[in-house]
Amino acid sequence: MDVYEAVKTRRAVRGFTDQAVEREVIERVLSAAARSPSGSNIQPWNIYVVTGEPLAQLKKVATERVAAGDPWDEREYVMYPPQLKSPYGERRAAFGRDRYTALGVARDDWEARARAAIGNWECFGAPVALFCYIDRDLGMPQWSDLGMYLQTVMLLLRAEGLHSCPQMAWSQVRKSVDAVTQPPPELMLFCGMSIGYEDPSVDFVDNGRASLDDTVTFIEG
């Protein structure tokens, strides 16, 4: 699979089979992803890979918390600005509308929406979860390094025939994640990522992207 094909076929998959993923494949992906861009070679990513019984227990604890209506753990970063201005707010609203429409969930059916959302904490059935942490003392440029690293991971997973779903939702139950990963106190959880083989029976929506004219300006001589 060439790079263009990997980029075109990468998407947030929300339905995985239980087919095992070999550890050597994950190691190969993460070893190569370490070549991702990083300002001054700081390499701010701190990665925990959870599988097997520890992941099963984490899924159980997280879904039970959500089902019981336990309060979310307070995120240690702001996910979206309080007022998401145009065109970003419209794009976010369109994503939510398209996703829940594909699932057959009505806009005002909050119980059905909650059932759909709980799939996050089941990793959508995936057998591997990656959790990405960053040192609290680092700044916005290092956060951008995380994004480049995680994108590299996801593209390399496609090269291995795997899919993924990056999930900031895990930061809402970060204390449950920390109980499994036991990171040092200076690290904070940014996101999780479900990894596995796609279940082709699960419907999905191709959200598409803004046109090139909407996001790119050419200044030519």
Q: Does any domain span residue 84?
A: no
Q: Does any domain span residue 100?
A: no
Q: What mean pLDDT is reported for the chain?
A: 90
Quote the number of domains for the chain. 1
Q: Does any domain span residue 208?
A: no
Q: Are the C-beta atoms of 126 and 172 separated by less than 8 Å? A: no
pLDDT digits (tens, 9 = 90+) for 35-58: 999 999 999 999 999 999 999 999
Cα–Cα distance for residue pair 197/20, rounded to 1 Å = 8
Q: Does any domain span residue 141?
A: yes
Higher pLDDT, 50 or 68: 50
Q: Does any domain span residue 27?
A: yes
Q: Does any domain span residue 211?
A: no
Higher pLDDT, 99 or 43: 43
- pLDDT at 110 > cutoff 70: no
pLDDT over 90 percentage in the chain:
70
CATH at residue 187 = 3.40.109.10
Distances (CA, A) of 155 to 54, 61, 89, 106, 124: 26, 30, 27, 33, 19
Q: Does any domain span residue 106?
A: no
Task: Report the relative pairing of strands 46-51 and 128-135 from DSSP bridges.
Answer: antiparallel
Cα–Cα distance for residue pair 183/47, rounded to 1 Å = 10
Cα–Cα distance for residue pair 193/162, rounded to 1 Å = 12
pLDDT digits (tens, 9 = 90+) for 171-211: 999 999 999 999 999 999 999 999 999 999 887 777 788 89
So what's the pLDDT on residue 79? 82
Q: Does any domain span residue 182?
A: yes
So what's the pLDDT on residue 202? 85
Query: Confidence class of residue 68 from pLDDT cuts 50, 70 and 90?
Result: confident
* Mean pLDDT confidence for 99-122: 65
187 lies in which domain range? Answer: 3-79+122-202
Cα–Cα distance for residue pair 84/18, rounded to 1 Å = 37
Cβ neighbours of residue 107 closer than 8 Å, sequence gap 6 or more? 97, 100
So what's the pLDDT on residue 53? 98
* Ranges of H-type helices in the chain: 3-9, 23-33, 52-67, 88-102, 110-117, 140-159, 174-181, 212-215
Higher pLDDT, 114 or 145: 145
